[in-house]
Amino acid sequence: MNAFSFATCLAWPTNLSWWALIIALLISFVWTIPIGIVYATINIHLGLNVFTEYIIGYMQPGRPLAMMLFKTYGYITIASHEPGPFLPARPEAWPLSQVVGTLWSCVVQLGTMEWALDHIKGICKSGQANNFTCPGLASSSTPHLQYFWLAGALVPIIIYLIAGTFPRSKARFVSAPIFFSGMGQLLPAIPLSYLSWSLVEFAFQKFIRNRYRGYAPAGTLDYLQIAVQKKVTRGQTFGPKVW
């Protein structure tokens, strides 16, 4: 796969240097285990998309295609093997299944995109007759918050030092990933749904996890989240509309 990656980046005008590709692969390799530990512990997948965008932006500025490739190899390649232990399959079959799934998804997505661009009139334009306005293409820029990632890097260290200095304090129960990323995992819903989510999460993480050591609720709640997301799209509410 590394050979295919180098061939893709160097044979076509991607503007991504070979040494930048190596750095992206190293980022993915180094962060796989830490992100996997956090994911299995608190059921939150930490993203490296902004992190990789900053790195390639400083290394090779003004190259949007190179940025997308660098982000793909440095972040999106960190695939989740979480459902693997629950499947009757050999561990060596997981990478092959991911490769086949990735290739097939690329063919389907590119084919669908090319068909849509050629056959849907006014696509990705405001006022399109059938609302094919491509809202997902909208992006946001936060130049005033570009250094706030330092808070995410320093707060876990501060919490660790406080918990080590005062082992009986409540600081040992504070989780920086949940503090910074927890709300981003919530579905777009009303406050009642947030309350329900909090109660279910507290029951799993506090009572069930303490009673059954070694039980990781991330897998169970992940499948529940996928089932809900199949029914609730972005912008819709989940649950009763009134209290």
Domain residue ranges of the chain, discontinuous segments joined by +: 1-80, 92-139
Backbone angles phi, psi at 218, to 5 degrees: -60, -40
Contact at 8 Å (CB) between 74 and 27?
yes
Q: Say which residues have a Cβ less than 8 Å from residue 73's Cβ, sequence separation at least 6.
A: 5, 21, 24, 25, 28
Helices (H), the chain: 2-11, 18-42, 49-59, 64-71, 93-119, 149-165, 176-181, 191-202, 209-211, 218-231
**Which range among 28-37, 95-104, 188-197, 230-239 shows the weakest confidence by mean pLDDT?**
230-239
pLDDT tier, 242 (very low <50, low <70, confident <90, very high otherwise):
very low
Q: With bands split at pLDDT 50, 70 and 90, how would you rate the model's confidence at 180?
A: confident
Residue 89 has pLDDT above 50, yes or no: yes
CA 161-167-173 angle, 5° bins: 80
CB within 8 A of 191, min separation 6: which ones? none
* Residue 160, pLDDT above cutoff 80: yes
Residues ≥6 apart with Cβ < 8 Å to 62:
none
Least confident of 98-102, 117-121, 234-238: 234-238
In the predicted model, what is the mean pLDDT of residues 134-140? Answer: 60
- Residue pair 20/58 in contact by the 8 Å Cβ criterion: no
What pLDDT, on a 0 to 100 scale, did the predictor assign at position 68?
87
pLDDT band for position 90 (cuts 50, 70, 90): confident
Average pLDDT of the residues of the chain: 77
pLDDT surpassing 60 at residue 57:
yes
